[in-house]
Every structure is written in C-alpha cells, then in structure tokens.
Structure 1
Amino acid sequence: MSAILQCRQRLVTIEGGEGAGKSTVLSALRGALLADGFEVVSTREPGGTPLAERIRDLLLSAGDEPVHAQTELLLMFAARAQHVQQVMLPALARGAWVISDRFTDSSYAYQGAARGLDHDFIASLERNVVGIEPGLTLLLDLGVAHARERTRGRDLLDGSAPDRIEREHDGFFERVRAGFLARAAQQPRRIRVIDASPDAASVATAALAALADYRATLA
C-alpha cells in the first residue's frame, strides 16, 4: 500500500524558474511571520543541511561527466529526504513556520516536464521518500526571455557563472514553466500563481497578500 502525503499547514514553499525572485519573496514572507511573533525557519532546495548542501554541489557543478536525468532526480530526492528529516519535520513539530525556496514541485517541473521522467515515478518518490506536502505554494511565474535578462544582470553584478542547470537552453526552461503551470492548474487550492514580471516590491506585496489570505483560512 502506498504512503499518503500529509499536508503540513505551516510549510510554505516558493517555486518558479530561474530569475523569478524567490529569494526576495522568501525574505518578505519571513519578515511578516517574524513580526507576528512566530518562529520561522527559512531554507532552500537542493540543500538545507550540510549533507544536502554537498549533494547540491554535485547536482549544480558543471563537471566533465554528463548527469543522467534519473541520477539528477534521485540525488534531488536524497537531498530532500535529508532536508525533510533533519530540518523541516523537527521545526514543524515545535510549531515553527518553514519557508523553503523550492520543494517537490520543482522535481515535477525540472526532472518531469523538462527532462521527460515519468510523473508516476516522481509521485512514488514523493509519497515514500518525502511524505509531506506544503499547505501553501507560491509559484512565481515569469516568461523565459524576461528571466534570462534578469539572470544575466545578476551574474554580471555578482561575478558568478551559471550553474549546470542554469546553462540549459530556452526550450528546457519553457518546459519547466509549462510544468509548473500544469501543477498549479491541477492543485489550485495549494498553489497560488503570482505574476513575477513586475518589480520586486510589487511581487513581494502580492506574495504577502497570498500568505495573509492563506493564514485567514487557518484561523
């Protein structure tokens, strides 16, 4: 018998393609919850624990050996399993809010929609390895061309080079975007789509409004 996903109401995830502004939104949500007196754990994927961060390095480093799509997926879930057990579940158990820059929806978009891996296989890993889903997911939706402009500007500003996944072609990211939007269409109560094309302050304001609406449903 397959495991059943448990919804964790105080788990909020932020999804979207490269350059959508997830870090800015995470900071705004964190600030709002802290101002209301809550403990907030902010984290990211892949990563979030020392071991998971080492797996992140393996995933994102541009090495000489090609990374098979299934290898990428399994490494993502290995990091996620560690993240859930070591960070998320303990924080949620003590009543904290957890805000994560990416979670399992990214695997459906990147490894599923973009790399063509089987949706049911990803769902099986989600149920049996992760076991939880967010109460709220904010999907920051941004066109690929606009996202490219932002990431180019960011890389020039901080002197960083694109990682292995950021180096993918536009068609790949179009499939990622389509995958995210398909997930949102399937789960409209959990996934709120936010237009990420305006300035950062406007996107953060929309995200804060979505969080406030969600919290009102929990009262």
Structure 2
Amino acid sequence: MRLLIVEDHAELADAVRASFARRNIHCDLAHNAMDAELMIRTVQYALVILDLGLPDEDGLRLLQRLRAMRHSEPILVLTARSALEARVEGLQAGADDYMLKPFYFDELHARVQAILRREGGRLQHRIVAGALEFDPDTHLFCKDGRSFDLSVREGELLELLMRRLNLVVRKQTLENQLFGSGETLGSNAVEVYIHRLRKRLEAEALPLNIQTVRGVGYMLQTQ
C-alpha cells in the first residue's frame, strides 16, 4: 500500500512519511499541486493526504479538479484552516475526511485506516491465492497457518500480484507501485524482484506460478 502526502512544509512531510514507514505504510511526497497531480495520474495511490495551503495553487482547487476528472482515490484534507465554512467546503468538494493541524499522528493513522475500511476493507480482509493467504492488517503471508518472511519489496510485489490473481499486471504498474516516484531504477529492477519472489514461492512449496507476459508484464496463477 502506498500513500501520497501533499504538503509544502518539507520537515512535516518527512516526519509524517517516517511515522507511516514505521507502520509498514509507504508514502510518496509532493510539495506543490502540480507535482501532486502528475503523481496521482501516474501512480495508483491507496489514499492522498492533502494540505490546502500549497505554494502554486489552493489545494481545494486541486481537490475539485481531481474529482472532476473522476479520480476516485480517497482524499484526507490535513490543513490549518479551521473555520466551519472551510471544513464544509472541503467535504463538499470531495474530501473523504477533514483534519486540522496541529494533530497527533496516531489520530491521523486511525483516520486513514477508517477511510480505507470504508473503501473496501483493504486493511482487514485477507487476500487468498490458492494455499497462500495475506493479511493486509498484519502484513503477514501464511501457508497452512504458518507465516513466512519476505523483504518489504518482495511482500509488496506479492500483494500486488495476489490482488490481481490470474490477471496481467503491467510492468510499468509494478514499477510505479513498488518504487513510487523519484527513485532511480535499473532497467531490470522489477525482473530482479520477480526472480527473488519466484525462488521464495518455490522454497515454500507454494503451488503458484508467476508467468511472464512478454512486452506487457506478469501474472500470478495457481497451479
């Protein structure tokens, strides 16, 4: 799962990202509306945390434009604008929640969890692929009731493939979801993790195959 934090205060954005990382939730950062819109068009985010006081455009206008373009990802507004009229305007523009600064991170995290539960229970319902189960809440992969460890990137990759079992996932989608924006990648970065993941599935004797669809991407299949 990857979030986008749209916040022009760099130290605050870094602190929030670090706090989410300690809970195994990965975040990209955008410090202005233009970068945020480009990143939202490129990466499929589970949720966007949006400040309204951005340097190049009012965040409310960005919110309205995203909804007009039918971007449906949940958006939590995190702002210092405390007036009742501002809160109402933000919710009417399409925000899923509205939270005021200053704030406690535990509350922010709880609100993110609540929104994602409403959006489909992503943090609660187990994902199943044959004999393999994944619990997004604990980030544990289990076979026959026994959990086994994967690296963070291997786990993210396997989760993405499990969510699209028997469907092709484009290589570009995997790059965007696994690495986000701003990271310099080798030409075979995804292939390296696919190779490692295949070895792990084989070592765990899991009846799953990761098929390569040439020129397109990869597909997880049960044997």
TM range (shorter): under 0.3
Q: Which has the bigger relative contact order, CA under 8 A and spacing at least 6?
A: 1
Q: TM-score w.r.t. structure 2 length? A: 0.27
Q: TM-score w.r.t. structure 1 length? A: 0.27
Which structure has the larger Rg over C-alpha atoms? Answer: 2
Bigger strand share = 2
